Amino acid sequence: MRDVIPTGMTRESVFLFERMAEASFAPLRARAGRRVLDLATGIGQDAACVAGSGAFVVGLEPSGRMTALARLAASERPGPQPHFVRGWGDVLPFASGSFDAVFCKGSLDHFDKPRQALAEMARVTAPAGRVVLAIANFESLACRVSRAWDELREVWLAQPLPRGRRLYDVPHDHFTRYELGLMQEQVAEVVELERVEGVSLGWGFPGWNRLLERMPEAAAHAALQGLDRLARVMPWFADVVVLSGRPRRSAIASA
């Protein structure tokens, strides 16, 4: 479970996840009573957050263990709660146009059929609704610089690299290595993109977190905010990219 639920959070990770949530939830804020699907909900923390804003939320998750944890956590929380359903993202068990919004935060690269899952997201979203995705960028500035530095050390300086996965390596439980161009290509097939926003810059870069931890909290936060502002206008360098838009009519018509 350490791969899914971090046992500790650094300043840069806290900032990244908070900004990722903020950017993902912004397109979902509309009238109260809206219907929202959280695809690959995990333990349901994002679904609960959106439900707390007045939406009717369904969290869909293929893992029985995760679904059980989500329901347990929901039973211990006061206020409006999501409804949790087990199912697969590429065959959604919902009628076309069932939701005012569908969001998938940090999970699309885990899907073995991402294009089919994207088509399903567009299908179950109402024509005037929104599809929102937050996807890790494996061509971020931090990944590029880390890869170049490792190549310099290994090839030119003949220094052996430490064992283990490098920042720019896709984890074993990811099926797709996304960068901005591939994200836009796949999502635009079924979504009329209205917004492409970069989130955070420099996450995971060697030594960066140690430097942040030594800085005063206010200075560290200011540095993270400044880099995040750059990421918003340069999403190809960002650590995470949030894409959103309305479902294409062709995607709805083919449902």
Q: Which residues, 6 or more positions from 66, have their beta carbon under 8 angstroms from its beta carbon?
A: 4, 41, 42, 43
The CATH number covering residue 92 comes to 3.40.50.150
Cite the DSSP H helix spans in 93-216.
114-124, 141-151, 180-188, 208-214
Q: Which domain holds residue 203?
A: 11-30+88-139+174-253
Q: 156 in a domain, yes or no?
A: no
Q: Is the pTM of this model over 0.95?
A: no
Instruction: List C-alpha distances in Å: 142 to 23, 99, 169, 231.
Output: 20, 36, 12, 12
Q: 247 in a domain, yes or no?
A: yes
Number of domains in the chain: 1
Q: 97 in a domain, yes or no?
A: yes
The answer to whether 25 and 1 have CB atoms below 8 angstroms apart is no
Write out pLDDT tens, residues 149-158: 888 877 777 7
Q: 130 in a domain, yes or no?
A: yes
Q: How far apart are CA 33 and CA 47, in angstroms?
A: 14
Q: 155 in a domain, yes or no?
A: no
Q: 38 in a domain, yes or no?
A: no
Report which listed range, 25-34, 204-213, 239-248, is most confident. Answer: 239-248
| Average confidence (pLDDT) over 126-139 | 96
pLDDT at 187: 98
Q: 43 in a domain, yes or no?
A: no
Write out pLDDT tens, residues 71-84: 999 888 888 899 99
Q: 235 in a domain, yes or no?
A: yes
Whether the predicted pLDDT of 41 surpasses 90:
yes
Q: How far apart are CA 85 and CA 105, in angstroms?
A: 17
